[in-house]
Amino acid sequence: MFKQSCTNLKKLPKQRVRKWLGGIETIIFDADGVLWSFGEAIKGSVDTFNLIRSLGRNTFVATNNSEALTETLVKKALGFGYELKEQELISSSMSIANFLASRQFQKKVYVIGEQGVADELAKVGICSEFKIKDELTVPSKQFAAEMEIDEDVGAVVVAKDDNFSVAKIIRACNYLQNPKTLFLATCVDASYPIGVGNRIIVGAAAMLAAVQAICKRKPLILGKPNPLMAAELLQCGVIKPETTLMVGDTLHTDIAFGCNCGFHTMLVGTGVSSLKEAQALIEDDDDKKKNMIPDTYLPSVCDLQEFLC
């Protein structure tokens, strides 16, 4: 309906928007920057999310957050007041675990990341080298020469890691010297706003760039925007692309994910990307960026309420 236009729904007649939304059976929300920001729900998002559910729409949450188990993220959502079931949340770490399980992966995984990645792998019976506390207490040359290499490691996963270090880069890159070792990552989010002025924190893309620059290998990204993240929902017919809306705050992950899956897409202005950035993509001649153009825009998720009556 709105393709390649980034239509601001607030500037359209309400009846036209309501008619369009009437054909949407499923809404998938990003979490951070759309429903909540760190330890606080975004204003009006809880009521909007629950209203959509009460109207009989399917609701899901798709997040690149790999810091915790899906069960823990669902508990976080429930704590804010969102009516969300465990099977309605998909994460990048869960996507990696499912990918390896589907390949009947039998080896170990070296993880640069947080506990959530290791825990999701453990749920599907995959052992991870996660608790190795790599720190450079000696010169890097000595560390590389003396570190033990586990020959049973068959994959390296890179995710956001608050304890990222040169030692972890060295270990990961040495495992990746073996071309048979899988190179996987959760996402390409470079940074996240923290809601304090213009301050940001570092995302997984920074860790990934360091490893990739050294090993000269391209990782398989299994979080958004990879459509594999929604493959199970699509294959079993739980959702249909033509009646599904993806709502996100980041153009190169959320919106590209929605486009790659064939969903309708909506950008909200409560997180990483802005309407101005989205409009600039329309004028950009780079065809590779066209999948980041959202169909629609609203300042916040809560603005959906006026079109849902």
Asked if the structure places residue 71 within a domain, the reply is: no
Residue numbers in the chain where pLDDT is lower than 70? 1-4, 131-132, 309
CATH number at residue 18: 3.40.50.1000
Structure-derived torsion over alpha carbons of residues 236, 255, 297, 235, reported in degrees to the nearest 10: -10
Over residues 232-246, the pLDDT tens digits come to: 999 998 899 999 999
Same domain, 132 and 197: yes
Return all residues near 261 (Cβ < 8 A) that are at least 6 apart.
Answer: 227, 230, 234, 241, 244, 246
Same domain, 171 and 133: yes
- 30 assigned binding-site residue: yes
Which pLDDT does position 309 carry in this prediction?
67
Which pLDDT does position 49 carry in this prediction?
98
Asked if the structure places residue 181 within a domain, the reply is: yes
**Domain closes at, from 198, 221, 244:** 221
Q: Are strands 7-8 and 108-112 parallel, antiparallel or unpaired?
A: unpaired
Question: Going along 39-190, which residue ranges are E strands?
Answer: 40-41, 58-63, 89-91, 108-112, 128-129, 153-158, 182-185
Put the strands of the sheet holding 58-63 in their side by side order.
Answer: 7-8, 296-298, 264-268, 244-248, 26-29, 58-63, 89-91
Number of other CB atoms surrounding residue 206 within 10 Å: 15
Same domain, 282 and 299: yes
Helix (H, G, I), strand (E, B), or coil: what is residue 110? strand
- 152 assigned binding-site residue: no
Return all residues near 136 (Cβ < 8 A) that are at least 6 apart.
Answer: 143, 165, 166, 167
Which pLDDT does position 2 carry in this prediction?
54
Same domain, 210 and 106: yes
The residues that are catalytic are 30, 32
CA distance 257 to 259: 5
Same domain, 101 and 114: yes
- 162 assigned binding-site residue: no
Which pLDDT does position 200 carry in this prediction?
86
Asked if the structure places residue 73 within a domain, the reply is: no
Same domain, 234 and 213: no
- 32 assigned binding-site residue: yes
Same domain, 112 and 210: yes
**What's the total number of domains in the chain?**
2
CA distances from 254 to 87, 132, 136, 192, 286 (A): 20, 32, 36, 14, 19
Return all residues near 131 (Cβ < 8 A) that are at least 6 apart.
Answer: 118
Same domain, 133 and 207: yes
Same domain, 15 and 133: no
Return all residues near 236 (Cβ < 8 A) that are at least 6 apart.
Answer: none
**Domain closes at, from 170, 197, 221:** 221
Same domain, 132 and 164: yes
Same domain, 107 and 206: yes
Asked if the structure places residue 89 within a domain, the reply is: no
Q: Which one, of 145, 165, 160, lies nearest residue 202 by Cα?
A: 160
Which pLDDT does position 72 carry in this prediction?
95
- DSSP state, residue 149: P
The range of the structural domain enclosing residue 299 comes to 7-64+225-307
Question: Per the confidence metrics, is the pTM higher than 0.95?
Answer: no
CA 180 to chain centre: 26
**Domain closes at, from 221, 237, 263:** 221
CA distance 286 to 281: 8
Asked if the structure places residue 1 within a domain, the reply is: no
Asked if the structure places residue 150 within a domain, the reply is: yes
Asked if the structure places residue 72 within a domain, the reply is: no
- DSSP state, residue 32: B
Dihedral sign from CA coordinates of 199, 204, 207, 208: negative
Which pLDDT does position 303 carry in this prediction?
97
Same domain, 204 and 233: no
Asked if the structure places residue 173 within a domain, the reply is: yes
